[in-house]
Amino acid sequence: MRGTLSDRTGAALLMAPLLLFLVLAYAWPFLGVVKWSFTLPTPGLGQYGALVSDPLVQSVFIRTLRIAAIVTIVSVTAAYAITVVWVRGSPVQRVLAEFCILVPFWISVLTRAFGWVALLSNRGLINTWLQSIGFISEPLTLVRNEFGVIVGMSHFLIPFAVFPLASAMRSLDERVLLAARGLGSSRMRTFWTVFVPMTRSGIIGSAMITFVFSLGFFVTPAILGGGRSVMIAELIYLRIFQSPDWGLGAAISVVLVVFVGALMALLFRYVKPKQLV
């Protein structure tokens, strides 16, 4: 036999480079961050104590959870509406819906946040237009506040919320829907009592993905919040670069990872990973 490599060595040789790369460039430095959280500025649990007692940190955590919850509800609802047409519409409707989902999906987060600035800022499209028709005299504050952050984040997350929903709607047996209609159920009733319950796994998956993504969001809140509605990720950035307090930044990171990990574990108890794509 020419195949001199045993299966085990072959597998090891092929898989080692990536595993080694990630251990050195990801796992090891992550442990370093965990170490920071226990040793900077002084060894001990001081940073975690500060997390619990510092009112600023607390208010940022609460704001992050609130924004993430609102964004999740908005994104999943909006994604549901467009996914119905993407999956069940006529061929032309499908192409149009796909275009509207995929084009924003592939455009960078910065460009999209900038587009919202162009729309919502004091001299942006919406304020200019509302003033020119005389509807308002002073520009509305639509950006550099929580409203702007929620709009921008929902816009970013809708395409991500679409995929689990689409997967659930595609695997649904159409005959059940036709049967409901055939038995005299109205469109509305079929939708609410048959269609929605049958896509439950998609809704859970989509909500979980949106919520988890929202928790660690950085770019959109930083641009559209204008420093006024700081979320966890921006707080970490500020603690590391502006008021050098690496220990607290690291401790917040560790708490965020643990929280997200717990949420994911919860998700996979209810939904199989395959149902998410």
Partner 1 sequence: MPTYRPGPVSLILAVLVALFLLMPLLAVIPVSLTPSRMLTMPTGELSLRHYRSLIEDPRWLESILLSIRIGVVSSALSTALALTFSLGVWMFQPRFTAALVGFVLLPMVVPPVVSAVTLYFLLTSVSGISSFFGYDTWLGVAMAHSVMTVPFATVLILVSLSQLDRRIDLAARGLGASVWERATRVIMPNIKFGIVTAALLSFVLSWEEIGVTLFITSVNAITLPRLMWMGLRDNIDPAIAALSVILIIITVLVLAVRSVITRRQAAP
Give 225's DSSP letter. Answer: S
Among 10, 41, 44, 244, binds partner 1 (CB under 8 A): 10
Question: Mind giving me the DSSP string for 90-147?
Answer: -HHHHHHHHHHHHHHHHS-HHHHHHHHHHHHSTTSHHHHHHHHTTS-SSPP--SSSHH
Among 50, 65, 73, 119, binds partner 1 (CB under 8 A): 119
Among 40, 76, 97, 142, binds partner 1 (CB under 8 A): 97
- Among positions 15-44, residues that touch partner 1 (CB under 8 A) are 15, 17-19, 21-22, 25-30, 32-33, 36
Question: Would you count residue 262 as binding partner 1 (CB under 8 A)?
Answer: no
Binding mask 163-202 for partner 1 (x = CB under 8 A): -----------x--xx--x-----xx--x-----------
Least spacing, CB of residue 207 vs partner 1, in Å: 17
In three-state secondary structure terms, 5 is coil
Least spacing, CB of residue 11 vs partner 1, in Å: 4
Interface region with partner 1, contact rule CB under 8 A, candidates 41-49, 118-126, 133-141, 196-204 = 118-126
Among 50, 65, 73, 117, binds partner 1 (CB under 8 A): 117
Question: Would you count residue 134 as binding partner 1 (CB under 8 A)?
Answer: no
Among 50, 65, 69, 104, binds partner 1 (CB under 8 A): 104
Tell the residue number behind the tokens 């069940």, with chain if given.
Answer: 88
Q: CB-based contacts of 136: which residues, under 8 Å, 6+ apart?
A: 127, 130
In three-state secondary structure terms, 231 is coil
Is 235 in contact with 57 (CB distance < 8 Å)? yes
Among 225, 249, 271, 276, binds partner 1 (CB under 8 A): 249
Among 219, 238, 245, 275, binds partner 1 (CB under 8 A): 219
Least spacing, CB of residue 56 vs partner 1, in Å: 18
Interface region with partner 1, contact rule CB under 8 A, candidates 39-47, 51-59, 116-124, 198-206 = 116-124
Taken as a whole, the chain contains a residue count of 277
CA dist., res. 231 & res. 59, Å (int): 9
Question: Would you count residue 266 as binding partner 1 (CB under 8 A)?
Answer: no
Interface region with partner 1, contact rule CB under 8 A, candidates 1-9, 42-50, 65-73, 196-204 = 1-9
CA dist., res. 202 & res. 272, Å (int): 10
- Tokens encoding 262: 């717990």
Question: Would you count residue 69 as binding partner 1 (CB under 8 A)?
Answer: no
- Alpha helices (H) along the chain: 7-22, 28-39, 46-53, 55-88, 91-106, 109-120, 125-132, 146-170, 174-182, 187-190, 196-198, 200-215, 219-224, 232-241, 246-270
Least spacing, CB of residue 59 vs partner 1, in Å: 18
Least spacing, CB of residue 86 vs partner 1, in Å: 8
